[in-house]
Amino acid sequence: MILIGRYLSPFVRRVGISLTLAGTKFDRLVLSTVTDREKLLKVNPLGRVPALILGKGKTAEVLVDSTAILDHVDEDAGPRRALTPAKGAPRRRVQKIVFLALGTLEKAVGALYEKTRRPAEKVHQPWLDQLESQVTAGLETLNAIVPKPYLAGPKLTQADVTAAVLFGFLRRASPHLVPEGRYKRLEAHAKKLEKLPAFQACQPEQP
């Protein structure tokens, strides 16, 4: 099993953390969407990360998109170690938080790209303002959740992983969106999770 991508990508990082929490052994091929595009295209025709290679040689299978990959990780881990419950209200509760955090993360990445991948004179400020307002709304909603002791109840789930990865990404890439103390509950929860071995093992590389 080979995970492709850098942990600078929050989408890759949430997969790496989840694999580690599941106790799944995996190798990693560190490729950048910017500098290694040709190599990535041979694995994923969209040139995106993460990708997960299962097996070897002609029988190898490639999974793309972090959500699809994590669905496989949970299935492989089994119901006791899966980070998302298999069915019912517990699954809906976790999924609700996961996709709120993912949506916020996608808007955060979009806002970052608007500023860093366009010439300054071509940045569309109204669009950037809208993206950042959506990030703020997502963070406020996540911050309103009271951990018991985790976001979806008594057990660490994918809701916690994705929300913590989101917060860590923003702290590194767009700190103006998460000033110290604005989202106290979410910040404290993310800091607690970042101390776990699985999170420590998947630290983002230096840009």
Q: What is the CATH number of domain 88-196?
A: 1.20.1050.10
pLDDT at 206: 82
Residues sharing a CB contact under 8 Å with residue 29, sequence separation 6 or more, in sequence order: 2, 3, 4, 5
| Pairing verdict, β 27-29 and 2-4 | parallel
Cα–Cα nearest to 169, from 197, 120, 125, 135: 135
Q: Do you find a cis peptide bond into 50, omega within 30 degrees of 0? A: yes
pLDDT tens track for 165-187? 999 999 999 999 999 999 999 99
Decide whether 2-77 matches 88-196 in CATH topology: no
pLDDT at 113: 95
35 token code pair: 């500098």
2-77 belongs to which homologous superfamily? Glutaredoxin (3.40.30.10)
pLDDT at 207: 73
| Residues in the chain with pLDDT values less than 70 | none
pLDDT at 57: 87
Q: Residue ranges per domain, the chain?
A: 2-77, 88-196
